[in-house]
Amino acid sequence: MTKRIGRTDYKHILPIQTRWADNDIYGHVNNVVYYGFFDTIVNEYLIASGMLDIHNGAIIGLVVETGCRYFAPIAFPDRLEGALRVAQIGNSSVRYELAIFVEGTDDAVAEGNFVHVYVDRDTRKATPLPDAFRSALQALT
């Protein structure tokens, strides 16, 4: 079994509050909700860094790969922390690695990854990452 990565291995932490609607019939946060957490963590960082204008920006990120490993259940009203780091930066793509922690704990309840390819908003063709965007990502490596 692969060793879980700890909180200190991540560069960006975002508080996340679970919602009542996140729980499924089995009494825990449903697996698909984690992908919403991951999307939120990545996009919050990019928006806060000034790298992503979701309404008018020339480039947008499209998810081309995702993955998640689950270690422990969580449920509403757990307070969580989402963690983000960048594993690889390509010409027009980025591999983000993420983790979910119960607030104040060091062991991830889930770890995942997203690969985004950045494309021109209008043509949807891959576009090289601008230098400022690349610098904001390098801060998370």
Q: What is the topology classification, in CATH, of domain 7-138?
A: Thiol Ester Dehydrase; Chain A (3.10.129)
Q: What's the predicted TM-score (pTM) here? A: 0.93
pLDDT score for 59: 95
Residue 1 has pLDDT above 60, yes or no: no
pLDDT in tens, 45-61: 999 999 999 999 999 99
pLDDT score for 96: 98
Domains of the chain, by residue range, sit at 7-138
Share of the chain above pLDDT 90, in %: 94
C-alpha to C-alpha distance for 97 and 104, rounded to whole angstroms: 20
pLDDT in tens, 60-71: 999 999 999 999
Q: Which contiguous run of DSSP H or E holds residue 62? A: strand 59-70
